[in-house]
Structure 1
């Protein structure tokens, strides 16, 4: 199985998550968490959280793009100014 296939393999993802979370939570806590996710509220939370994470990602990427654009403009202006000074010194 290729790395990409492994990443997209749901069973692999679930098993990896279980391995990681079981280090942080007791088996009783995992059982309670499982009960929650299987409840009506847990299913609603999961659906809502997927939508919220999508919205959050869009908002974050918009802020990130704006910040990166500003930083890149500053970097480019600084680089061009240094290049001009270098040419004048030659």
Structure 2
């Protein structure tokens, strides 16, 4: 009699243990994704700020009206020397 009852409980217990393990994995995955989203939100906020846009514009060579663009060559060789 106990053998039959034990046999009937084997599958649900195995399913429970498997589900519990998957829950732990998913919880860790959610925590990782939340931290990644926080980093991306911070990058987006920084990139869309006025200062961030100005930095990006200067990086691709834009200058503000009235400013003069100077191109300095040979800095890599100078840095290598010093």
TM-superposed CA distance for 1:75, in Å, is 1.5
Aligned length: 52
How far 1:48 moved relative to its partner?
Answer: 0.9
Which structure would you say has the larger Rg? 2
Unmatched 5+ residue regions in structure 2?
55-82
Q: Please give the root-mean-square deviation of Cα atoms over the aligned residues, in Å.
A: 2.4
- TM-score w.r.t. structure 1 length? 0.47
Output the CA distance in 2 between the equivalents of 1:52 and 1:43: 15
TM normalised by structure 2 equals: 0.51
Moved over 2 A (4+): 40-46
Q: In structure 1, what is the equivalent of residue 73 of structure 2? A: none
| Runs of 5+ unmatched residues, structure 1 | 1-39
